Structure 1
């Protein structure tokens, strides 16, 4: 997979590569505020902890470097609202996109539009 940009300006919102040290509290808070919403869709929520969030962020750097996955925080006017990822699949040029958003603005299609960029 071709190296991705560290930031993507989507006009009404910004996607930025997760940073392990700087973004830990933000990521942990986003997940905490969204547990009930995430639980039916994301099996990893059952194992959510401060350690799991730190491990995810550390792994983001390794995956980015290897080209396995590009994980981003998403914000509006500097306020984090969610996350999105582009992940390599087993197909030679295969990619899988994933995203999640806190409420609000969940349901407004922002992250779906981001996936199209």
Structure 2
């Protein structure tokens, strides 16, 4: 997949490449989201400024190397979460995301993932996948609403997230026929 654009906007949701000056807002948003994130994302449990600085450094190097493209998700209230495009083998891309609990149920992440799914196809991806723990019902809603189809499950990830069952659901969308780069 070719490098995506660094900024998007759709239906009141903005996506932009993470910046070093986002560090304090990132820490604040993750800490406010701890009860919502920690059951699924163990990294959130001890998130601090050093964790955020490490993520932002990794985001810069991932962008340069083409291994991962991380975006801040913004709405009218500021930082709402994060979404990433991660190129995989055989022209595939994985999308990962998290969202502040006050923004759930409003279409924020569905819009963000829809935008990045389209961008991945524009940039040459043949398929886009989303994986999440079977027990994470809220994460399941995003691929369902966007027309992804469940294509299977993966064996339990180790370690299993505290709120999860360890079985990862895999959802996929294929590049539409006739979709040009």
TM-score, normalisation: structure 1: 0.90
> Counterpart of 1:56?
55
> Counterpart of 1:72?
71
1:7 aligns with 2:7: yes
Q: Residues 20-39 of structure 1, C-alpha deviation per residue, up to 9 Å, x if partnerless? A: 2x110111111010011101
TM-score, normalisation: structure 2: 0.60
Question: Residues 43 and 67 (structure 1 numbering): CA distance in 2 closer, same or farther, change over 3 Å?
Answer: same
> Counterpart of 2:108?
110
Q: CA deviation at 1:62?
A: 0.4
Name stretches of at least 5 consecutive residues in structure 1 with no aligned partner: none
Q: CA deviation at 1:12?
A: 1.2
What RMSD, in angstroms, separates the aligned Cα atoms of the two structures?
1.4
Q: Quick check: 2:13–2:111 contact (8 Å CA) kept in 1?
A: no
Q: 4+ runs of 1 displaced by more than 3 Å?
A: none
Name stretches of at least 5 consecutive residues in structure 2 with no aligned partner: 116-181
Question: Residues 75 and 34 (structure 1 numbering): CA distance in 2 closer, same or farther, change over 3 Å?
Answer: same
Distance across 1 between alignment mates of 2:32 and 2:106: 18
Distance across 2 between alignment mates of 1:34 and 1:77: 18
Pairs aligned (count)? 115
Larger Rg: 2
Distance across 2 between alignment mates of 1:17 and 1:78: 18
> Counterpart of 1:86?
85
